[in-house]
């Protein structure tokens, strides 16, 4: 694609090989209707999805700037042929734990409509990690019977398994953390401590920016300290560390991500830890229902982790 990526409506650095694969698929006129964009959070998957949506819906290129009317509509959320699905707010004004089944049913209905402007309809789910099994099963309707000129992009941060029935019906486009030069290039124009962001989330500038600007930075550092001695700290030590760290949902999310990423990596060497990962995921997804505070949730998560590590070591 031509153009200056940094002046584009949706600037994106890196991922040239992944972009080239999608471009080649479209230009071959054999574009698959379902794609999973998979990779860790904070590397640009949602930006790439917006760039591709604009291009599919009539923008001059993925690098088109905001003088392009299609890119303007994509950015504003007003393009009638694009539907972006993400978690909404519940009746209490809090962010839901999951994307609801009703949202997926609305997406299925969206794909039954005729394109209004572009000849294509594009649906994007951000993200698969925030869908429950019921939602994923509802999604199969569109994947099994895709309408003509329809593209469905499923963003996956790879923090939970994807149903085989969904994966088998999609092309998987893997995106990887950026190298240090590209990460620095993304961070340079941002009002952020570059070195801190690099340390907190190497290769993941979006996540590094989010952490460095919130209490998440301290939560990550606390998680790392506890993990270095995961078999040793007594409950009092853990409680004291978490009490000074877990101040809100943002810091809890950072703490959780650090722990679960550690478990996922260790599970490659110790498959028994996969059960620990699932148990921790269950704690996180039910915390809101049980009205657990961030501190209570974090304490329970670390306790489950410790139990799992001890069982593997026994």
- pLDDT tens across 18-77, in order? 999 999 999 998 899 999 999 999 999 999 999 999 999 999 999 999 999 999 999 999
Q: Tell which residue, 182, 160, 135, 170, has the closest CA to residue 257.
A: 160
Report pLDDT for 83: 98
Residue 209: asked if its preceding bond is cis (omega within 30°), the reply is no
Asked if pLDDT for residue 159 goes beyond 80, the answer is: no
Report pLDDT for 234: 64
Report pLDDT for 5: 57
Asked if pLDDT for residue 288 goes beyond 50, the answer is: yes
Residue-range domain boundaries for the chain: 5-174, 214-313
DSSP 4: -
CATH superfamily of 5-174: P-loop containing nucleotide triphosphate hydrolases (3.40.50.300)
Count the neighbouring beta carbons within 10 Å of the beta carbon of residue 192: 17
Tokens at 247, concatenated: 């101040």
Q: Tokens 């059960």 appear where?
A: 275
Query: From CA 146, how far away is CA 154, in angstroms rounded?
Result: 14
Measure the CA angle with vertex 268, ends 262 and 274; round to 5°.
70
Asked if pLDDT for residue 118 goes beyond 50, the answer is: yes
Report pLDDT for 160: 74
């Amino acid at each position: 694609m031509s153009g200056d990526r940094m002046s584009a409506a949706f600037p994106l650095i890196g991922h040239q090989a992944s972009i080239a694969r999608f471009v080649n698929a479209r230009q071959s006129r054999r574009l698959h209707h379902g794609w999973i964009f998979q990779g860790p959070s904070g590397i640009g998957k949602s930006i790439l999805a917006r760039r591709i949506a604009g291009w599919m819906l009539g923008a001059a290129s993925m690098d088109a700037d905001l003088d392009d009317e299609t890119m303007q509509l994509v950015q504003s959320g007003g393009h009638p042929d694009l539907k972006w699905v993400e978690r909404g707010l519940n009746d209490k004004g809090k962010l839901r734990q999951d994307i609801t089944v009703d949202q997926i049913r609305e997406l299925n209905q969206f794909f039954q409509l005729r394109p209004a402007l572009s000849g294509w309809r594009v649906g994007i789910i951000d993200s698969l990690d925030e869908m429950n099994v019921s939602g994923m099963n509802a999604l199969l309707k569109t994947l099994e019977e895709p309408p003509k000129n329809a593209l469905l992009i499923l963003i996956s941060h790879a923090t939970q398994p994807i149903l085989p029935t969904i994966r088998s019906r999609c092309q998987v486009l893997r995106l990887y953390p950026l190298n240090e030069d590209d990460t620095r290039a993304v961070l340079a124009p941002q009002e952020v401590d570059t070195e801190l962001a690099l340390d907190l989330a190497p290769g993941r500038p979006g996540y590094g920016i989010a952490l460095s600007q919130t209490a998440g930075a301290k939560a990550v550092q606390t998680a790392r300290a506890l993990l270095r001695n995961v078999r040793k700290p007594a409950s009092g030590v853990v409680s004291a560390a978490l009490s000074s760290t877990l101040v809100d949902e943002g810091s809890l999310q950072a703490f959780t991500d650090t722990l679960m990423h550690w478990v996922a990596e260790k599970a490659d060497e110790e498959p028994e830890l996969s059960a620990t990962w699932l148990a921790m995921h269950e704690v996180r997804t039910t915390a809101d229902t049980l009205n657990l505070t961030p501190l209570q949730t974090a304490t329970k998560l670390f306790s489950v982790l410790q139990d799992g590590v001890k069982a593997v070591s026994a």
